[in-house]
Chain A
Amino acid sequence: KQEVTQIPAALSVPEGENLVLNCSFTDSAIYNLQWFRQDPGKGLTSLLLIQSSQREQTSGRLNASLDKSSGRSTLYIAASQPGDSATYLCAVPGNQFYFGTGTSLTVIP
């Protein structure tokens, strides 16, 4: 069974700082990995989808990397803003979608 872990569970940074969120998974035979954002009490918004053949995917200030062999992915957020405050979840598909428990990010103005 696939297990997905995210570290840290919570992170607080001052505005403007660059930061990295980590995601690890136990079964490296994945097709892709997806990063989501979740605002409090809301649904999930897809941020980035990295196919297994890719090593990186970028969208604006976000950059996600994938290393299948080590079972790791990182989400890099450049020049953080208070509007980036949310919970960030990573997920990998298999016979179902396996989610990590998320990293709660607070960007302090």
Chain B
Amino acid sequence: ETGVTQSPTHLIKTRGQQVTLRCSSQSGHNTVSWYQQALGQGPQFIFQYYREEENGRGNFPPRFSGLQFPNYSSELNVNALELDDSALYLCATTPGLGVIQTQYFGPGTRLLVL
């Protein structure tokens, strides 16, 4: 198992609500990426944070936002939830920037929007 943890493990929300998901980085990892994985699909990149700044974003609307804290933990916030936001949300951390780095994934948060 990696040292990456995510909370909560499961969450049920209704359409229009807001949600905050949390990720704690593996020790020494200052870069965190968030992914959305719909059922039967591969993970889709949402955004990446490096040293508390956003460092790249995928094709997701602005209602998906994030934060990274000085201890490198991170939050993913989703406003105005839609039914299609139902998915497994994964965070992954790396010890720094650079494409040679492998990513260490957390167990994910499963979000259901009703």
Contacts and interface: CB of A to CB of B under 8 A. Distances in A.
A43 B105 contact: yes
A41 B10 CA distance: 10
Given A31-B100, A49-B102, A94-B99, A41 B88 contact: yes
A34 interface: yes
Interface string A50-85: 010000000000000000000000000000000000
Instruction: Categorize the interface residue count of chain B.
Output: 20 to 34
A89 B83 CA distance: 25
A98 B42 CA distance: 9
Given A31-B99, A31-B100, A51-B100, A89 B107 contact: no
Given A34-B102, A44-B90, A96-B58, A102 B42 contact: yes
Instruction: Categorize the interface residue count of chain A.
Output: 20 to 34
Contacts of A36: 105
Contact of B40 (A34, A46, A93, A101): A101
Contact of B108 (A42, A96, A98): A42
Contacts of A21: none
Given A32-B99, A42-B107, A45-B105, A97 B90 contact: no
A27 to B, nearest CB: 13
Interface string B29-69: 00001010000111111001000000010100000000000
A52 to B, nearest CB: 9
Given A44-B90, A44-B105, A101 B41 contact: yes
A69 B89 CA distance: 33
Interface of B: 2, 4, 6, 33, 35, 40-45, 48, 56, 58, 88, 90, 92, 99-100, 102-108, 110
Given A97-B35, A101-B40, A101-B42, 9 more contacts: A34-B102, A43-B4, A43-B6, A43-B90, A89-B42, A96-B56, A97-B33, A100-B42, A102-B42
Interface of A: 4, 31-32, 34, 36, 41-46, 49, 51, 89, 91, 93-102
5 contacts: A31-B99, A41-B88, A43-B108, A44-B105, A93-B99
